Amino acid sequence: MFDRLEDLLLHYQEIMNMLSEPGIADDSKRFQKLMKEQADLTPIVEAYEEYKKNKQNIEDSLALLDEESDEEMKELAKEELNESKQRVEELENTLKILLLPKDPNDDKNVVVEIRSGAGGDEAALFAAEIYRMYVHYAEGRNWKVEVLDSEETGIGGMKSIDFMVSGTGAYSVLKYESGVHRVQRVPETESGGRIHTSTITVAVMPEAEDVDIEINEADCRIDVMRASGNGGQCVNTTDSAVRLTHYPTGIVIYSQTEKSQLQNKNKAFALLKTKLYDMELQKQQAQASAERLSQIGTGDRSEKIRTYNFPQGRVTDHRINLTLYKLDKVMNGDIQEILDALIAADQAKRLSRMNEAS
């Protein structure tokens, strides 16, 4: 591990030297590549330099204890020795986590699909609430949310909604949200006061870039029509809506959120790319089934991952047996504690697997 850290430190210094070269910003591609490498390496380099500093403190403190006769100075040296030993242990664990292989999709934006499942109107209402939960969470991180497609019900629910979350590291955090979300509560339409259970599915997909997937337009059919549902003056009076059918997979995408037919077409193709890229990722994960099952975020769309129990005000994540009694805050987007716990559990499993392999 430490040989690798020394190599990374040398590489980091080389990058810093290159970034200080005159005219480096003139080559925008090279400059951006170097800046990204520098940003990726900075946390590792800073932790390693602090590690080396504390290792040196341990040596200095031990030498002082051997040489010093003054009891007060010895006590101070012992305190510093203990603090440095504790910090070295913490930093070793931090460095192991920082050196774990990174998911190449982690820095990407995401497309999130929410679909109502069992429970009819109640499931659709819950789908709308979960969508708002993610919007509030994204706003708290200054991420941008853009609706790609939605199918609403007449009572404020959503049968389905597709939206993009744009922000650095969006996939690295939100990828743990894929799966079945279950709600337990008394619906407003329930006169007997009985608790009902409804479900929705959430799929989180990394945004596909042009290099990720190529689409042959000959494999697609494009139909244009007037938009339906709520909209402004132009939305319902022009043939701006687009239905895109991909013959090889049978995927159908309906895009009507923009006033321009071209904009809706571009959105539909962007969403198709992301879905095709996600299908390829799902195939790869299925092939690596042993590794996939050992991870916290398997991405399995049929896996029940979380229950929101309104009568008791609690939310439970079943993958890590975490229960929080702050459902109101969670529904308002305060999900960082859950996500941090999932990330920590995932890292712990990966570290354990890496230690077993070594």
Q: What's the CATH number where 188 sits?
A: 3.30.70.1660
In a domain, 67, yes or no: yes
Place of tokens 């850290």: 5
| CATH number of the structural domain spanning residue 225 | 3.30.160.20
pLDDT in tens, 223-248: 888 776 554 444 455 678 888 888 88
- Select from 282, 299, 317 the last residue of a domain: 282
Instruction: Give me 48's structure tokens.
Output: 């390693």
The pLDDT of residue 342 is: 94
Mean pLDDT of 125-136: 95
194 and 131 in a single domain? The answer is: yes
The pLDDT of residue 201 is: 93
299 and 206 in a single domain? The answer is: yes
The pLDDT of residue 286 is: 65
User: For residue 115, which of 180, 189, 174, 177 has the smallest C-alpha distance?
Assistant: 180
In a domain, 339, yes or no: yes
- 8 Å CB contact between 243 and 256: no
Asked if the model's pLDDT at residue 294 lies above 50, the reply is no
What is the DSSP-derived secondary structure letter of residue 26? Answer: G
User: For residue 224, which of 280, 188, 263 has the smallest C-alpha distance?
Assistant: 263
Asked if the model's pLDDT at residue 295 lies above 50, the reply is no
In a domain, 320, yes or no: yes
Q: What DSSP string describes 169-199?
A: THHHHHGGG-EEEEEEE--TT-TT---EEEE
110/204 Cα distance (integer angstroms): 6
| CATH number of the structural domain spanning residue 58 | 1.20.58
Q: What is the mean pLDDT of the chain?
A: 84
118 and 207 in a single domain? The answer is: yes
333/327 Cα distance (integer angstroms): 10
Cβ atoms within 10 Å of 286's Cβ, excluding its own: 10
pLDDT in tens, 146-196: 988 888 887 888 999 999 999 988 999 999 999 999 999 988 766 667 888
Residue of higher predicted confidence among 314 and 287:
314
In a domain, 274, yes or no: yes
In a domain, 356, yes or no: no
94 and 121 in a single domain? The answer is: no
237/233 Cα distance (integer angstroms): 7
Which whole-number Å values give the CA distances from 79 to 57, 82, 352, in the listed order? 11, 5, 32
The H or E element containing residue 43 is: helix 28-67
In a domain, 170, yes or no: yes
- Select from 236, 255, 282 the last residue of a domain: 282
Instruction: Give me 56's structure tokens.
Output: 């040196």
Q: Residue 296's pLDDT band (boundaries 50, 70, 90)? A: low
- Select from 74, 98, 122 the last residue of a domain: 98
Place of tokens 């959503």: 158
In a domain, 85, yes or no: yes
223 and 340 in a single domain? The answer is: no
Facing residues of 358 across strands? none
Q: Residue 219's pLDDT band (boundaries 50, 70, 90)? A: confident
The domain total for the chain is 3
- Amino acid present at 197: T
The pLDDT of residue 210 is: 58
- Amino acid present at 88: V
Asked if the model's pLDDT at residue 103 lies above 60, the reply is yes
Mean pLDDT of 102-122: 87
DSSP strands (E only) in the chain: 110-116, 144-152, 158-166, 179-185, 196-206, 220-225, 241-246, 251-255, 304-309, 314-317, 322-324
300 and 204 in a single domain? The answer is: yes
pLDDT in tens, 36-79: 888 888 988 999 899 999 999 898 888 888 877 777 888 888 88
Mean pLDDT of 276-292: 67
Domain residue limits at 229? 217-282
Place of tokens 């997937």: 213
128 and 254 in a single domain? The answer is: no
In a domain, 357, yes or no: no
51/6 Cα distance (integer angstroms): 12
199 and 316 in a single domain? The answer is: yes
Asked if the model's pLDDT at residue 290 lies above 50, the reply is no
334 and 204 in a single domain? The answer is: yes
206/105 Cα distance (integer angstroms): 6
308/317 Cα distance (integer angstroms): 9
The pLDDT of residue 65 is: 83
User: For residue 181, which of 230, 244, 239, 113 has the smallest C-alpha distance?
Assistant: 113
14 and 44 in a single domain? The answer is: yes
Mean pLDDT of 310-334: 95
Report the percentage of the chain scoring pLDDT > 70.
Answer: 88
User: For residue 209, which of 268, 168, 285, 270 has the smallest C-alpha distance?
Assistant: 270
327 and 191 in a single domain? The answer is: yes
Cβ atoms within 10 Å of 250's Cβ, excluding its own: 7
Asked if the model's pLDDT at residue 332 lies above 90, the reply is yes
Cβ atoms within 10 Å of 155's Cβ, excluding its own: 11
Q: Residue 293's pLDDT band (boundaries 50, 70, 90)? A: very low
Q: Residue 31's pLDDT band (boundaries 50, 70, 90)? A: confident
Claim: this prediction has a pTM higher than 0.95: no
Q: Which residues contact 310 (CB under 8 A, 6 or more apart)?
A: 183, 184, 185, 186, 327
40 and 56 in a single domain? The answer is: yes
